[in-house]
Amino acid sequence: MYAVIVSGGKQFRVSEEEIIKLEQLDMAIGGTVKFDKVLMIGQGETVQVGAPYLEGATVTAEILAHGRAKKIKILKFRRRKHHMKRMGHRQNYTQVKISKIKLLG
């Protein structure tokens, strides 16, 4: 069984017992979070698609850790002008483990 959820403005295809990294959530480690914005649930050959979300469908996850991703290096320059600017960015994330996918109805 798998589901497509929305978190942090992005869509994720998740299945039970899977560990994924999401945009940072302001919750404590060890807590649980419920995602009610479920776009689609699939089980074997059957697929249910919402318009835009499935009514009564929830995905429950346990928060494992908070962290920061690897640094992305950014280089901006103007050719032939002796101008170069180096920057970097590290994105915060929350690591969660999907514990249950539930569909009512």
Q: One digit per residue, pLDDT tens: the chain, 105 residues? A: 999 999 999 999 999 999 999 999 999 999 999 999 999 999 989 999 999 999 999 999 999 999 999 999 999 999 999 999 999 999 999 999 999 999 886
DSSP 8-state assignment for residue 29: T
> Domain range holding 80?
2-102
Is the alpha carbon torsion for 12, 16, 20, 24 positive or negative?
positive
What pLDDT score was predicted for residue 104?
80
What is the tally of structural domains in the chain? 1
DSSP 8-state assignment for residue 56: T
What pLDDT score was predicted for residue 21?
97
What pLDDT score was predicted for residue 105?
61
CA-closest candidate to residue 39, choices 60, 22, 53, 57: 53
- Beta-bridged to residue 98, according to DSSP, are 61
Q: Show the tokens assigned to 58.
A: 């929830």
